[in-house]
Amino acid sequence: MMQNKIQLVVVLAGILSKASCDLYRFVLIEEPKTWPEAQSYCREKYTDLVTVQSDADRAKLKEAANAVNFSSVAWIGFYKDPWLWSYQNTIISYAKWGNQKPDLLKTHKACATVKRNGQWVDANCTEGRYYFCQTDKQDKLQDKFKYTEKTMNWYDAQTYCRSHEIDLATVTDDTENAFLAEVLNSKNDWDAWIGLSRIPWQWSDNSSVSWSSVKWESGQPDNVNGTGECATADTDGLMADHICSTQQPFYCRENRKIQRVRFTVKSDRSLDESAVMKAIEKKMKQILSGQDVIIRYNITWSVQPDGKIFQQQETRENKDNTQDTPTACDELGPMKR
C-alpha cells in the first residue's frame, strides 16, 4: 500500500498570532514550609502563592485540595509586614503597646503614637498630631529627641523630620520611652507621632486587595501581637492568620495558556488523519522543545460535527482558504482528545 505524502504549509509560528486565553490553576504542595519558603518555592516552580478573593478562586482552591484528598489549612499569598521603624526600615524589637493595641482596622495603614502614660496606640496615619523627631545627637536624650509642636499627619511629619533632622523617632527601650512620655506631660499634651508604621494586608503577587471579596474565618484575623502575619485558607477558602514561621502546606498558582492554531495540509491523495496528526504533533514538539525555557504542554484536537478532525477545502486561485480563529475565550468550542 502506497503511503500518502503529507506537506504542512501553515507556519507553526502561528501559535503566537492566533487567539489565546490566559488561564490558571491552583496546585497544592503538601510538603510543609514556612510562609517565606513557600513563597520562594512557588515563584521558582510556578508563578506565585495563590490569590484567593473571588468565588472562582475559592472553587479552584477546593478543586486542588480535593484532587489529593486534603482537608486541612495551607498557606496562601496574603500577608502583612511587621511593624517597621521609619529610620532605615528597622523591624520592631521593643514595643510598649497599650491594652488591646494595636487594633486598627485591617484595611488601613497604621502608624503609632506614644501617649503621655508611655503606652503606644495605633492610629490612622492621616490624622494630625504633634511628633517626635530623632536627631544625630546621641549623648543625651533631650538632644537625641526633638519634640515638634506642629500638627501634621504621619507622612508629613516623616518628611519634615527627614528634611530637618534624621527621621521620626525610633524608641529602643523603656528609658527612651519614659523620656518621651515625660516631655508630653510637661507640655500637657496627650500623644504624639513616633516613627513606627505598618502597611495593611497585601497579596504576594501584588494584586489589588478587594476587601469585599476577602473571606475570613469567624473571629479572624486575631493575631495582633506586632509580629509579621501570614494567612492560611481552609478548603472552602476561608482565611485565618498565623505566625509566618509556622510550617504549613501551601497553594501555588500556575498560569497556563491555551492557543488554538489552524493548520492547512496539502496532499495529492485522501488523507490519513492519524498520520497527519502525528506529523503535526511531532513538529510542534520539535518547536516547543527548542525554546530557551521549559514549556509544559499538551496537544488536543478540535473534533468537527461530522466526527472528523480535518475538513476538505477547495483550493482557489488568489483566495485565502483559511478562516480567522475566534478571539474570545467563550467563543472557542470544546476541545476533545
| pTM to 2 decimal places | 0.59
Helices (H), 22-140: 35-45, 55-67
Q: Which three cell numbers stand for residue 99?
A: 491594652
Enter the DSSP assignment of 336: B
pLDDT at 297: 61
Question: Which CATH class, in words, describes the domain spanning 21-81+200-255?
Answer: alpha beta
Q: Which of 114, 67, 109, 78 is nearest to 94 (CA)?
A: 114
> So where are the chain's domains?
7-19+261-331, 21-81+200-255, 84-198
Distance CA 6, CA 279 (A): 8
Q: What is the CA radius of gyration of the chain?
A: 30
Percent of the chain with pLDDT over 90: 54
In the three-class reduction of DSSP (H, G, I as helix; E, B as strand; rest coil), residue 277 is classed as helix
The CA–CA distances, whole Å, from 331 to 249, 260, 308, 325, 335 equal: 37, 11, 20, 9, 12
Q: Which residues contact 283 (CB under 8 A, 6 or more apart)?
A: 8, 12
Give the torsion sign (CA, 81, 83, 89, 93).
negative
Mean pLDDT by 10 residues, the chain (337 residues): 39 37 83 97 96 95 96 96 90 89 71 96 94 92 95 97 97 97 96 93 91 90 66 96 94 78 66 76 72 60 73 54 44 34
